[in-house]
């Protein structure tokens, strides 16, 4: 096999892994809803831990590995510890912990620059202007706030709501809200770039 073929195969694998992990994350709430009362809570906790472990493994070769390693590890430990006390709650708490973990990463990056958004953007924009860095800090703050609110809503549904509503919110509504936030930020970014003469 030629080197170009090897590169294509490696690129295909590198794209496939995050896509499969994202699909697993979306499917997780619905799997929990379908399995509650039919499958042992221990098995569901192991599923949650496997997802956290897969996320941690995927981070190894990313620029954000150092920033996200601690919060992802904390999510793993928190889920495992809660699983020993209350397996059912641990399965419902997994999305809560993930949201709080990533919110903590965004928040910490604001205290210890560069911001997480700047780290993520460093692949295509390694030397952003001061204006761009300030904008990225604002976007990081928005994501931090969004994830905290998302975690609190998910926590409320886990504690006081029906599992079906928890599943619908965590597996569908929250992703729609994230998509809207991504789209809104993209539109704002275009306006900011035009305002600073950087193009669209």
The answer to whether residue 4 scores a pLDDT higher than 50 is: no
What are the pLDDT digits (tens) for 155-193?
Answer: 999 999 899 999 999 999 999 999 999 999 999 988 887
Residue 14 near residue 54 (C-beta atoms within 8 A): no
- Coil, strand, or helix at residue 36? strand
**Number of domains within the chain:** 1
CA triplet 38, 39, 43: central angle to 5 degrees? 170
Q: Which domain holds residue 145?
A: 3-195
Could you tell me which residues come within 8 angstroms of residue 162 by beta carbon, excluding any fewer than 6 positions away? none
128, pLDDT greater than 50 = yes
Q: Examine the pLDDT at 124 and tell me if it is beyond 80.
A: no
pLDDT tens-place string over residues 27-38: 999 999 999 888
Quick one: DSSP state of residue 11? Answer: H
Query: How much is the pLDDT for 83?
Result: 92
- Would you state the pLDDT for residue 106? 94
The b/e string for 165-189 (b: 16+ C-beta within 10 A; e otherwise) is ebbbbbbeebeeeeeeeeeebeeeb
| 200 located within any domain | no
Task: For residue 121, tell me if it sits in a domain.
Answer: yes
- Provide the pLDDT for residue 125: 79
Average of pLDDT values for 48-65? 78
* Helix 65-85 with 41-59: angle, nearest 10 deg: 170
pLDDT(123) > 50:
yes
Which residues touch 78 (CB under 8 Å, ≥6 apart)?
93, 97
Q: For residues 139 and 141, what is the distance between their CA atoms, to the nearest angstrom?
A: 5
Q: Is the pLDDT of residue 12 over 50?
A: no
């Amino acid at each position: 096999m030629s080197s170009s073929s090897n590169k294509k195969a490696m690129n295909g694998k590198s794209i496939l892994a995050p896509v499969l992990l994202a699909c697993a994350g979306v499917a997780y709430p619905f799997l929990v809803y379908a399995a509650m009362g039919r499958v042992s809570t221990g098995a569901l906790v192991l599923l949650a831990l496997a997802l956290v472990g897969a996320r941690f493994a995927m981070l190894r070769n990313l620029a954000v590995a150092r920033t996200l390693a601690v919060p992802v590890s904390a999510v793993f430990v928190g889920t495992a510890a809660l699983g020993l006390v209350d397996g059912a709650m641990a399965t419902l708490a997994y999305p809560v912990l993930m949201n709080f973990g990533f919110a903590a990463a965004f928040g910490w990056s604001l205290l210890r620059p560069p911001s997480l958004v700047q780290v993520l953007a460093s692949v295509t924009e390694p030397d952003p202007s001061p204006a761009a860095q300030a904008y990225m800090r604002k976007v990081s703050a928005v994501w931090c706030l969004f994830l905290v609110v998302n975690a609190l809503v998910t926590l409320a549904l886990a504690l006081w709501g029906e599992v079906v509503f928890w599943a619908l919110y965590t597996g569908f509504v929250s992703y729609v809200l994230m998509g809207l936030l991504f789209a809104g930020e993209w539109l704002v970014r275009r306006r900011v770039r035009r305002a600073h003469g950087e193009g669209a």
